[in-house]
């Protein structure tokens, strides 16, 4: 595991040694003392402060890149060149161009790439997929996303996290959080056909976008709209996705794991949206099964690159770039 920051403490790190056929045997962090602390607390036998030494360790046969997106491409390509499968934190890289570089390396060296879009494997999100595919609300007509969060106290004080530095994160909180949602819709409906958007920075706390509204059109005719704002008051917090179909609706949350609410001709009912102890467990299990040749991962470098492409298209005008 390259990088052992907060995302690895509970969400991912411990799962690698709980999944059958998998074991976390080494961690790397440039600050060796922090890496040693992590290894001690999580019973990891090896510690490195240089990524290339971990990648070339003969005992290691797969690498998890858990650093900020700015270094994903470098570490992922080095891992692939060493002939080892790589599992990359999301978003896959800074931008779509870097995702293509990673996927080209995967093809060149014949080694697979997986990306941590773990909602493709979480029970609650699979339940929503099943409800849609079995016609619980009839044909889906459209969907809407609302994700509103207040700025952190650090952001208000000018102590900016890397997640709002486009040079490290690719964009702002939109890239960090909306990527999960956009990838999930790719899983449900396939690639996006057309994007229209408006992107702003309303709060002035940092240079990255803090407000995004987008319209998405898919090849199957389904359309969706989303509004993301990271500069609201705490009273305006919101985390909702709602699918509207010909016969009803499904409403749930992306990050809060609130109950899934189904409303149709049978009335209103709620289903539990399970929050696992380690949210990446189910996806890591599928990746291990894929590497063993007994299963398949729903999240790959190719699927994750499509998500980065959509995000690039949404913010292209704001950053003055070409998606």
Check residue 12 and report its DSSP letter. Answer: I
Question: Which pLDDT score is estimated for 128?
Answer: 98
Q: In this predicted structure, what is the pLDDT of residue 192? A: 97
Read off the pTM: 0.96
pLDDT at 322 over 60: no
Q: What is the mean pLDDT of residues 199-221?
A: 97
Q: With cut-offs at 50, 70 and 90, classify the pLDDT of residue 17.
A: very high
Question: Could you read off the pLDDT of 76-115 as tens digits, one per residue?
Answer: 999 999 999 999 999 999 999 999 999 999 999 999 999 9
Task: Give strand pairing partners of 208.
Answer: none
Mean pLDDT for 241-262 is 98
Its sign, for the CA torsion 277, 283, 289, 291, is: negative
pLDDT of residue 44: 98
What does the pLDDT average to over 63-78? 98
pLDDT of residue 252: 98
Contacts of 189 (CB under 8 A, 6+ apart): 218, 219, 220, 222
Handedness of CA 76, 79, 85, 88 (dihedral sign): negative
Tell me the percentage of the chain whose pLDDT exceeds 90. Answer: 99
The model's pLDDT over 46-57, given as tens digits with 9 standing for 90+, comes to 999 999 999 999
Q: Tell me which DSSP letter residue 11 carries.
A: I
Mean pLDDT of the chain: 97
Judged against a pLDDT cut of 80, whether residue 321 lies above it is answered with no
Picking from 308, 284, 322, 296, the residue whose alpha carbon sits closest to that of residue 101 is 308
Residue 105's nearest CA partner among 69, 87, 78 is 78
Q: Are 79 and 28 in contact (CB under 8 A)?
A: no
Task: Tally Cβ neighbours within 10 Å of residue 251.
Answer: 18
Mean of pLDDT values over 192-210: 97
Instruction: Indicate whether 323 pLDDT > 90.
Output: no
Domain ranges, ordered by start, for the chain:
6-117, 123-275
Angular region, 28: left φ>0, alpha ψ -120 to 50, beta rest: beta
Task: Quote the pLDDT of residue 183.
Answer: 98
CATH number of 123-275: 3.30.360.10
Model confidence at 289: pLDDT above 60 = yes
The Cα–Cα gap between 84 and 304 comes to 19
**Domain 6-117 is classified in which CATH homologous superfamily?**
NAD(P)-binding Rossmann-like Domain (3.40.50.720)
Q: What's the pLDDT score for residue 178?
A: 98
Question: Over the range 90-118, which residues count as b (16 or more CB within 10 Å of their CB) and which as e?
Answer: bbbbbbbbbbbebbebbeeeebbbbbbbb
């Amino acid at each position: 595991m390259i990088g052992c920051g907060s995302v690895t403490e509970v969400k991912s790190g411990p799962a690698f040694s709980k999944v059958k056929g998998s074991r976390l045997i080494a961690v790397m962090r440039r600050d060796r003392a922090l890496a040693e602390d992590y290894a001690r607390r999580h019973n990891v036998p090896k510690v490195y402060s240089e990524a290339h030494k971990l990648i070339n360790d003969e005992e290691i046969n797969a690498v998890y890149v858990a650093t900020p997106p700015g270094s994903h491409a470098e570490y992922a390509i080095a891992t692939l060149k060493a002939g080892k499968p790589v599992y990359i934190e999301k978003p896959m890289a800074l931008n779509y161009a870097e995702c293509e570089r990673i996927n080209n390396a995967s093809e060149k060296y014949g080694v697979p790439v997986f990306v941590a879009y773990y909602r493709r494997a979480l029970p609650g999100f699979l339940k929503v997929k099943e409800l849609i595919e079995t016609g619980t609300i009839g044909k889906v007509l459209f969907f809407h996303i609302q994700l509103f969060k207040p700025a952190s106290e650090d952001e208000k004080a000018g102590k900016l996290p890397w997640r709002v530095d486009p040079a490290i994160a690719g964009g702002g909180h939109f890239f960090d959080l909306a990527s999960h949602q956009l990838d999930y819709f790719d899983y449900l409906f396939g690639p996006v056909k057309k994007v229209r958007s408006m992107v702003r920075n309303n709060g002035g706390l940092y240079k990255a976008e803090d407000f995004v509204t987008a319209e998405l059109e898919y090849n199957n005719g389904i359309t969706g709209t989303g509004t993301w704002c990271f500069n609201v008051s705490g009273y305006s917090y919101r985390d909702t996705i709602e699918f509207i179909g010909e016969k009803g609706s499904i409403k749930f949350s992306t990050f809060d794991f609130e109950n899934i609410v189904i409303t149709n001709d049978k009335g209103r009912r709620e289903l539990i949206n399970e929050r696992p102890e380690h949210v990446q467990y189910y996806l890591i299990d599928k990746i291990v099964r894929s590497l063993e040749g007994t299963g398949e991962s729903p999240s790959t470098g190719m699927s994750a690159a499509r998500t980065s492409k959509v995000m690039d298209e949404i913010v292209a005008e704001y950053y003055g770039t070409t998606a």
